[in-house]
Amino acid sequence: MSPKPQTEITLRGVLLGILITLVFTAAQVYLGLQVGLTFATSIPAAVISMALLSAFKSATIQENNIVQTIASAAGTLASVIFVLPGLIIIGWWRDVPFFITFAACAIGGILGVMYTIPLRRALVSNSPLPYPEGVAAAEVLKVGTNTREGAREGQAGLVAVVLGSVASAAYSALAAAKVLAGELAAFFKVKVGGKVAATGIAGESSLALIGAGHLMGITVGIAMLTGLVIAWGIAVPILTSMTPMPEASAADHAGAIWSTQVRYLGAGAIGAAAIWTIGKLLGPVWSGLMSALEANRKRKSGGEALPREEQDLPIALV
């Protein structure tokens, strides 16, 4: 007896996924341009999807999965903010052409979806991590869809998301109106090796950043704090002492060195980390590709039916 077909791709699911994507992409672009980091959207999208679709008796876990999968594209779409400003900074572009940008995002999105076929096995199915994001999102969907307690937690999560959004918007409005302090900064001169140097310290109060920090976790926060200490506590003082600017204020001196030298050190560190990560992934990606080819051979042979989670697009099409 064949299993009962499950409703998966529905109009309401696609529209809900697009709506969540629009909201999350706006948030991702804002935070990405402000602090240089984006956050994973799969799990928040899964919580919102479960809470909203629970109003429909015909909703299924597969439909919820489609919604959170569409919404997880917000992180991918927002990644364009790390590329386009670079083209402007190096002088390749003077502005951002809409159609070229749209085409680049569309092609990149298609390539990203195709890459997930072999990468799924390498980074999720065969990953040594107990809870990579995809597995965690699946567990959230299982609990939220199959139990009453999970459904209640999903609704509570949606309420928390809405209240957090309202509170963050209200705080930002008050900060923009100068009712609350939105940002504080202080620059000062120091002595390095007997020479006058400059550095500074700044802080920004934002509920959006607190929420993003909660999603990113303590490890990312410590990494950012370490980078700030290295940049403003070591690099800026040393480089400003090597580049005397006696007539400039501490703020102008430190800001000029930061803009022209120190931030490129950070960009180089990110580039080196990216190359290192790609090198570490070569082995898992190759094994994932071989696994995808093996699954494709089994599918073509027409023998034992593959489990649904092992049925990929034909690798030749990929």
Mean pLDDT of 107-135: 74
Per DSSP, 229 falls in state H
What pLDDT does 272 receive? 92
pTM comes to: 0.69
Same domain, 34 and 157: yes
CA distance 292 to 275: 25
pLDDT score, position 292: 72
CA distances from 186 to 70, 110, 234, 251, 263 (A): 43, 46, 17, 8, 19
Q: Does some domain include residue 145?
A: yes
pLDDT tens column, 235-258: 999 988 888 776 778 888 888 888
pLDDT of residue 136: 75
| Positive/negative CA dihedral, 283, 289, 293, 295 | positive
Distance CA 239, CA 257 (A): 7
**Does residue 234 fall inside a structural domain?**
yes
Same domain, yes or no: 104 and 228: no
For 108, phi then psi, to 5°, come to: -60, -40
Contact assessment for residue 53 and residue 64, using Cβ atoms and an 8 Å cutoff: yes
Tens-digit pLDDT profile for residues 13-28? 889 888 888 888 888 8
Greater model confidence, 209 or 151: 209
24-38 b/e (C-beta count within 10 Å ≥ 16 → b): bbebbbebbeebebb
Task: State whether 67 and 29 are in the same domain.
Answer: yes
Please determine, for residue 2, whether its predicted confidence score (pLDDT) is greater than 50: no
Chain-wide mean pLDDT for the chain?
79
Residues belonging to the chain: 318
In-domain check, residue 3: no
Q: What is the pLDDT of residues 207-235, one digit of tens each?
A: 877 877 777 778 888 888 898 899 988 99
The answer to whether position 315 is within a domain reads: no
Q: What is the DSSP string of 29-60?
A: HHHHHHHS-----HHHHHHHHHHHHTT-TT--
Same domain? 155 vs 232? no
- pLDDT computed for residue 147 by the predictor: 63
Query: Of 115, 150, 176, which residue sits at a domain end?
Result: 176
For the segment 20-59, what is each residue's pLDDT rounded down to a tens digit? Answer: 888 888 888 888 887 777 777 777 888 888 878 877 777 7
Shared domain check, 56 and 169: yes
Residue 172 is predicted with a pLDDT of 81
290 belongs to a structural domain = no
Distance CA 284, CA 280 (A): 8
3-state secondary structure of 237: helix
- Between 298 and 147, name the one with better pLDDT: 298
Overall domain count for the chain: 2
Tell me if 105 is assigned to some domain.
yes
Domain housing 154: 11-176
Contact 240, 198 (CB under 8 A): yes
For residue 189, is pLDDT > 70?
Answer: yes
130: pLDDT strictly greater than 80: no
pLDDT computed for residue 148 by the predictor: 61
pLDDT computed for residue 209 by the predictor: 78
